[in-house]
A and B are shown apart, each in its own frame.
Chain A
Amino acid sequence: MNINGIKIEKKTDYEWIIPKVGKMNVPGKIYSDEKSLVEIISHDDSFKQVINVATLPGIIGYSIAMPDIHAGYGFPIGGVAAFDYNEGIISPGGVGYDINCGVRLALTNLNEDDVINKRNKIIQVLFEAIPTGVGSSNAIKKVSKEELKRVALKGARWAVENGYGKAEDLSRCEENGGFVDVSFEGISQRAIERGLDQIGTLGSGNHFLEIQIVDEIYDEKIAKKFGLRLNQVCFMIHTGSRGFGYQICEDYLKDFIKAASKYKIDLLDRQLACAPIVSPEGQAYLNAMKCAANFAWNNRQVIMELSRRAIKKALSISDNELGFQLLYDVSHNIAKIEVHEIEGERKKVCVHRKGATRAFPKNSPYISKDLEDIGQPVLIPGDMGRYSFVLVGTEEALKETFGSSCHGAGRVMSRNKAIELAKGRDIAAELSKKGIIVKAKAKATLAEEMPEAYKDARLVVDIAHYANIAKKVARLKPIGVIKG
């Protein structure tokens, strides 16, 4: 078929190929059904951005788009691209401003009945414990520059060492909650200043903390191994590296626009600004990005612990009764150096996942020992009125997408339009009628983030499932939401 002047070939019902033409170094590959391809994805610049990424030096295999693809800046959101370590590039725009934005899911021993009538109280206590909204700060005491340096070098391990969570939480995070080969060089004073009082804060936009209930199990065996059961109460946290990460991205994007010209890299979009991975600029960004990623893992770890304390207080229960355990922490805005088998050869590559979740299968050396015979949990958050999902990584993902899957629902409505649509309506009351208690700091947030503003995550997850780039394990419905 031909969409917007771009030739697209059907490979399977859920896989579409943009053949290599012009300056493309590799073809494009889009995971979608035909309906979404024609009716949703074609309505923005997604195809063009898949093509633009395919022109970057050293790209391997395909420029890949996940089922939740939508136009981003430079790279599409829902984009995956792997670059040869020695000949390829690294791009701050391929990671995004919110470095290591991600999701974690904590499981409890509680059932829906234990919390359903106490939701208001839990949400209130959580809202008081975890600063949300613009410039949210001081969840914990403002740290010194030296302490922030330790956060950037240690990641979530800093939190555990300072009483925020348990050591076993770390093995349930990608990279054990922190890149280890990191230095604090190349972090600007501005980034440091922005990070000092933001540890343990949620921020604004689509970031959230939700009380969720497991309401459907798709794979009993894997759900059981993950510790998931029907009616179980869970807590999902979605946030990233806050101002610290935004500033690092901005600092390096500015430099990389000049670096691209220095290395004679032809950019079809300024936000694709990049430098060879092995160049001084590439290595400097990779290091700074790791510092920001570590900040984000630490941030989610601190929020999880603050949540645990708040829930215990709200329900007046013991640790054993609560049983707060981390299922997993996934990153969906990150670049990682990984080894993948490409055409029968083991190759070191830099995988950019921008709005895409790692989805490694069982026996992967990159996941913790206790998950080795199951595979990595893949967490896909939905909008605040419908569902989120737990999936598991697959061999197919490893082979076809460098071990990646989708990351969420994706917006279908502008913020202005959502605000217009919300006029005269009480979104919180509407959600309350559906059994969902919502609390947000900014007035406009509930309108901008209303469920109708998003695609149903189920559509995206089903495509990932049928394309076999992650398999459905369980569905979670929200009953309490905190928004920034």
Chain B
Amino acid sequence: MLSNQNIISKEHYADLFFEIRASSLKDVYFYSAIAHKISAIDNYSISNYEIKEFKFENNERELNLIEFLNELNYLIFSEGKVFEEILSFEEIILDEKFIHVFEVKFSIIDKEKTEYKRELKAVSYAQAKLEQNNGVYFFTYIIDI
């Protein structure tokens, strides 16, 4: 599932800098969510599962990705919900806007018994960039800690 070819952790003095490489937009979401999870948490025990639907709409795709990752950040630290997988994904382009609609499966964990690695303040809008080259998506971004 997780491969170093998809999630590359880059050098950054203060924070966490990632490059995600994926062959589809759905996988960009998936691998960046996994990168977020492994940055935040070590071990956790699952008490239940939940499926949530998301819809993001912006004139740049990377803004949707940042909003999604910040949503994950809130869910993992505040509600004890950990990303597991993307069950469906659709992109609609309408009036120069990118609309991403998808369903995500979350594990529900006991926060008290969970080993969190570090507090992640937010995913920064600065330097976040999504590019496509020869059929591969490259998404670079920073998590402010």
Residue ranges of A at the interface with B (Cβ–Cβ < 8 Å): 44, 70-74, 77, 93, 97-98, 133-135, 190, 193-194, 203-205, 243, 246-247, 249-250, 253-254, 257, 269-271, 273, 411-417, 442, 444-445, 448, 484
Contacts and interface: CB of A to CB of B under 8 A. Distances in A.
A356 to B, nearest CB: 16
B119 A97 contact: no
B125 A257 contact: yes
The 7 closest A-B pairs by CB, nearest first: A73-B126, A134-B116, A271-B126, A270-B125, A97-B121, A204-B119, A73-B124
Interface in B107-145: 111, 116-119, 121-122, 124-128, 142, 144-145
Contacts of B77: 134-135, 243
B11 interface: yes
A269 B126 contact: yes
Contacts, number: 89
Given A72-B126, A448-B118, 7 more contacts: A73-B126, A271-B125, A273-B125, A414-B12, A414-B14, A417-B11, A445-B118
A203 B119 contact: yes
B119 A484 contact: yes
B117 A134 contact: yes
Interface residues of B, number: 29
A246 B126 contact: no
Nearest to A247: B74
B122 A416 contact: no
Contacts of B34: none
Contacts of A44: 13
Interface string B49-88: 0000000000000010001001000100110000000000
B126 A416 contact: no
A250 B122 contact: yes
A257 B63 contact: yes
A73 B56 CA distance: 23
A460 B130 CA distance: 37
Contact of A254 (B12, B67, B127): B67
Interface in B1-53: 9, 11-16, 40
Contacts of A254: 67
A98 B119 CA distance: 12
A73 B12 CA distance: 12
Contact of A194 (B9, B63, B78): B78
Contacts of A93: 125-126
Contacts of B121: 97-98, 246
A270 B13 contact: no
B126 A97 contact: no
Interface of B: 9, 11-16, 40, 63, 67, 70, 74, 77-78, 111, 116-119, 121-122, 124-128, 142, 144-145
A416 B118 contact: no
B125 A253 contact: yes
A204 B116 CA distance: 11
Contacts of A71: 13
Contact of A73 (B70, B78, B117, B142): B142
Given A97-B144, A190-B78, A414-B11, A73 B116 contact: no
A460 B67 CA distance: 36
Given A73-B127, A257-B125, A270-B128, A413 B13 contact: yes
A343 to B, nearest CB: 33
Nearest to A207: B119
Contact of B78 (A98, A243, A444): A243
Contact of B111 (A135, A250, A269, A413): A135
A413 B13 CA distance: 5
6 contacts: A73-B125, A93-B126, A204-B145, A205-B119, A444-B118, A484-B119
Contacts of A414: 11-14
Contact of B122 (A72, A246, A273, A444): A246
A417 B12 CA distance: 9
A98 B121 CA distance: 8
A71 B11 CA distance: 13
A382 to B, nearest CB: 16
A124 to B, nearest CB: 22
A445 B117 CA distance: 9
Nearest to A253: B125
Contact of B11 (A97, A249, A416, A442): A416
Contacts of A442: 116-118
A134 B11 contact: no
A411 B12 CA distance: 10
B119 A415 contact: no
B14 to A, nearest CB: 5
Contacts of B74: 190, 194, 247
B145 to A, nearest CB: 6
